[in-house]
Amino acid sequence: MNTRLCDGFLADEFREREPALAAQLKRDKLPNCGVIALRVDFDRPVGRCVDDVRLLFGTTLASSRPPNDRRISVRVNSNV
């Protein structure tokens, strides 16, 4: 799901500011229980309305982990 969502709706400014993350979001799978935050600017055209993306709670995308590692890592900030 994240590949369609992120490829179809990322703002050009985000793609230019974070090219590696934009490519990774397009290519890699978000793991089960992984969390991403999307900032949506409703003043933009729908096809380019996501102007910021953050991986939350220690979420990593599939290619950033070893291929046989199926664990999901979650890091909780105790200062919240």
Tens digit of pLDDT for each residue in 34-65?
Answer: 888 889 889 888 888 888 888 888 888 776 55
- Comparing C-alpha atoms, which of 17, 4, 3, 13 is closest to residue 41? 13
Q: What per-residue confidence (pLDDT) applies to 33?
A: 83
> Computed from CA positions of residues 47, 44, 17, 57, in that sequence, does the dihedral angle turn out positive or negative?
negative
Q: What per-residue confidence (pLDDT) applies to 79?
A: 54
